[in-house]
Amino acid sequence: MSRNGSIRLIVMLLFGALFGFYTRHDYAKWNQRGREAFLAMEGHRFDLNMADPKPLSANIFGGAIVALMLFGAYEGVVFSMSSIVGRAAPTDKHSPHIESGAGPGALS
């Protein structure tokens, strides 16, 4: 796997772990507050958002904005990690294998 592919895999795992921590925190919060508090919050949420829904165009536009922000965050983290790993990785520009183009697996 290439370095870029490895970094993308690590970032996906990181985002998945962060989402898991967030979900776990939310479950623990509502477990502590109790069933009645959770049902009251869900009833309020239904009254605000689902009883009188927003127009379809607003939902599509809002979803697109959120998707772009998440994609931008993902690409930003990948770019940052690639830069950090790229600086830390040793490069040997004077290797005869690199200059001649011959290396492991090259046809002679």
As given in the structure block, the two tokens for residue 66 are: 């959120």
Q: Which helix (H) or strand (E) holds 44?
A: helix 35-45
pLDDT in tens, 8-25: 999 999 999 999 999 999
Burial class (CB in 10 A: 0-12, 13-18, 19+), 56: exposed
Query: Distance between CA atoms of 102 and 91, rounded to whole angstroms?
Result: 16
pLDDT in tens, 65-96: 999 999 999 999 999 998 888 777 665 555 55
Query: pTM here?
Result: 0.65
